[in-house]
Amino acid sequence: MKVTLFAAVSVAISGANAAVGMWQQCGGINYTGDTTCVSGAMCYKYNDWYFQCIPATTTTSPSSTRSSSSSRQSSSTSTRSSSTSSRSTSTSTRTSSTTTTSPSATISPLHDIAVSKGKQYFGVAVDSNELANATYKVLLDDRHLWGQMTPGNKMKWDATEPSRNTFTYSDADALVVWAQGSGKEIRGHTLVWHNQLPSWLTNGGFNNATLVSILQNHVTNLVTHFSGKVKTWDVVNEIFEEDGSWRSSVFYNTIGEYFVDIAFRAAAAADPNVGLAANDYNLDYGGSKVTAYVNLVNRLKSRGVKITQIGSQSHLIVGSMPSYSTLVSNYNAFVATGVDVAITELDIRMTLPVTDALLAQQRKDYNTIIRACMAVPRCIGMTVWAYSDYYSWIPSVFSGEGAALPFDDQLKPKPAFYGIVDGLNGITN
Ligand SMILES: *[C@@H]1O[C@H](CO)[C@@H](O)[C@H](O)[C@H]1NC(C)=O
Ligand SMILES: *[C@@H]1O[C@H](CO)[C@@H](O)[C@H](O)[C@H]1NC(C)=O
Ligand SMILES: CC(=O)N[C@H]1CO[C@H](CO)[C@@H](O)[C@@H]1O
């Protein structure tokens, strides 16, 4: 997709009769409302069709790059915000009214921008139920927005080997077929994790030799099945505690730390071309957990075990972010061991209810981590853990928290989305 750069942007600083609230629309073709923002805000032109009140103190350069758009951001936005229950109706209206352009043409193409700046992809986690939602799928299908997908659950052990040596791939295969059809590379997630294991495995009481063969069989089966389709596997997931010690799991408790070597070796043998990652959360703040992974990579390499990437999940909290320099230094610590790094499960949650101040902070926080990845050449890509708050895992796991993703539950881009766009373009919010 062609990305048109706006050299000049209309900016109207708020006056005494300010009327439009922060983050609300203040201009654009077909927009008929007030064009003056509340005090402290300025009316910022995202494209010909959509101007929004953003903090006047923002350091965003007015010359920031935006994707060109020629469709109906203003009309679709107002339609969308009008009613929750009419979502599907408004979407079909929107779709049918934009016969000459993609329905998502007003949304900056994150993947295309990331690639144009030297990254491999900008991606999104997906689950089977989301593919059944035609409304959600419109943006999900967009290969310019998302060029990579990670299955949220369907490649995990409980989904793929529900009873011993019986492998079920139909759900995962459907996700793979869809991803390939919509121009997305695939991250396999995940071969070995202490959670979402079938009970035959956790309660089996297997001795070391038997569990080693079960582990090898599982890894070999999955990697072989998806060979040529999965680009990189999360071979192990969340194997360390916060203090860098080994996490208790059926694998560690029975086999010892060599379960990691065994899994990586089996994966490499099954597909010599696939990328092999260790993935974890809370790698954003530095400290013992980062050191544990740096040491792990060095140990694996010293034993001749192939590992190509550290995945930093980055499930983060609005206003509690690591600094830009901490993020960059963590990524560089991984890269120094000879592996790539990727941001694999990004979301930045807030304590509900949503406020303008939290949305503004969330924009800055997304912007910070995206800029950090952009600053490290071997930070190869970024993946959000679903794109809309409607499908976020956060509210079900963190009581009273949510709104963690760049689109709201009506699929309207939030300030965070524009923070990502700016971050990809190296612009500080
Ligand atoms: C589909 O997704 C939209 C927005 O994410 C949501 O409003 C709608 O309720 C979903 N539909 C179903 C059937 O889940
Ligand atoms: C289990 O077996 C593996 C493979 O032979 C070995 O590397 C590991 O040390 C053994 N673990 C224990 C606890 O004996
Ligand atoms: C609903 C509406 O007013 N649509 C108009 C939006 O702007 C275009 C281009 O100026 C017009 O052609 C539409 O009629």
How far does the centroid of ligand 2 lie from the alpha carbon of residue 256, in Å?
A: 7
Q: What is the pLDDT of residue 222?
A: 98
Q: Which residues line ligand 3 (CB under 6 A)?
A: 29-30
Q: CB neighbours of 299 closer than 8 A, spacing ≥ 6?
A: none
How far does the centroid of ligand 1 lie from the alpha carbon of residue 131, in Å?
A: 11
Q: What is the pLDDT of residue 148?
A: 98
The residue whose C-alpha atom lies closest to atom 5 belonging to ligand 2 is 209
The residue whose C-alpha atom lies closest to atom 11 belonging to ligand 2 is 255
Mean pLDDT in residue range 378-401: 97
Compute the half-sphere exposure of residue 151: CA atoms within 13 Å on the CB side of its CA.
Answer: 33
How far does the centroid of ligand 2 lie from the alpha carbon of residue 311, in Å?
A: 26
**Cα–Cα distance, 341 to 330 (Å, whole number):** 10
- CA-based torsion, 158, 164, 170, 174: positive or negative: positive
Counting atoms of ligand 1 from 1, which one is nearest the CA of 133? 1
* pLDDT for residue 269 is more than 60: yes
Q: Is 263 in the pocket of ligand 2 (CB under 6 A)?
A: no
**Residues with catalytic function:** 345
* pLDDT for residue 4 is more than 60: no
The residue whose C-alpha atom lies closest to atom 11 belonging to ligand 1 is 133
Q: What is the 3-state secondary structure (H, E, C) of 255-274?
A: HCCHHHHHHHHHHHHHCCCC
* pLDDT for residue 10 is more than 70: no
Do the Cβ atoms of 365 and 348 come closer than 8 Å? yes
Q: Which residues line ligand 1 (CB under 6 A)?
A: 87, 133, 135-136, 388, 390, 409, 411
Query: Residues 303-328: pLDDT tens digits?
Result: 999 999 999 999 999 999 999 999 99
| Residue whose pair of structure tokens reads 């006047």 in the numeric block | 56
Q: Where are the beta strands (DSSP E) in 340-388?
A: 340-351, 379-384
**Per-residue tokens: 2:** 């062609």
**Stretch (H or E) spanning 26:** strand 25-27
Q: What is the largest CA-CA distance in the chain?
A: 76
* pLDDT for residue 2 is more than 70: no
User: Chain-wide mean pLDDT for the chain?
Assistant: 85
* pLDDT for residue 97 is more than 80: no
Q: Which of 249, 255, 262, 264 to mutate to test the pocket of ligand 2 (most atoms within 8 A of CB)?
A: 255
- The two beta strands, 309-312 and 25-27, are unpaired
Structural domain boundaries in the chain: 1-60, 110-424
- pTM here is 0.76
- For residues 126 and 18, the model is more confident at 126
Q: CB neighbours of 107 closer than 8 A, spacing ≥ 6?
A: 67, 69, 139, 142, 145, 413, 417
How far does the centroid of ligand 2 lie from the alpha carbon of residue 72, in Å?
A: 61
The residue whose C-alpha atom lies closest to atom 12 belonging to ligand 1 is 133
Q: Is 15 in the pocket of ligand 2 (CB under 6 A)?
A: no
**Cα–Cα distance, 140 to 126 (Å, whole number):** 9
Ligand nearest to the CA of 137: 1
**Per-residue tokens: 38:** 């509340």
Confidence of residue 46 (pLDDT cuts 50, 70, 90): low
| Burial class (CB within 10 angstroms; exposed 0-12, middle 13-18, buried 19+) of 299 | middle
DSSP secondary structure code for residue 44 in this structure: E
Q: Is 83 in the pocket of ligand 2 (CB under 6 A)?
A: no
Q: What is the pLDDT of residue 17?
A: 47
Q: What is the pLDDT of residue 90?
A: 30
Counting atoms of ligand 1 from 1, which one is nearest the CA of 388? 5
Confidence of residue 51 (pLDDT cuts 50, 70, 90): confident
Counting atoms of ligand 3 from 1, which one is nearest the CA of 30? 6
- For residues 159 and 100, the model is more confident at 159
Q: Which of 76, 82, 84, 88 to mutate to test the pocket of ligand 1 (most atoms within 8 A of CB)?
A: 88
Q: Which of 29, 30, 48, 94 to mutate to test the pocket of ligand 3 (most atoms within 8 A of CB)?
A: 30
How far does the centroid of ligand 3 lie from the alpha carbon of residue 75, in Å?
A: 10
Name the class of domain 110-424. Answer: alpha beta
**Cα–Cα distance, 424 to 312 (Å, whole number):** 18
- CA-based torsion, 374, 378, 380, 386: positive or negative: negative
Q: What is the pLDDT of residue 94?
A: 31
* pLDDT for residue 367 is more than 80: yes
**Cα–Cα distance, 76 to 54 (Å, whole number):** 20
How far does the centroid of ligand 3 lie from the alpha carbon of residue 30, in Å?
A: 6
Mean pLDDT in residue range 110-130: 97
Q: What is the pLDDT of residue 223?
A: 98
Mean pLDDT in residue range 81-103: 31
**Per-residue tokens: 415:** 């300030």
* pLDDT for residue 425 is more than 90: yes
* pLDDT for residue 135 is more than 50: yes
Q: What is the pLDDT of residue 39?
A: 79
* pLDDT for residue 67 is more than 90: no
Q: Is 303 in the pocket of ligand 2 (CB under 6 A)?
A: no
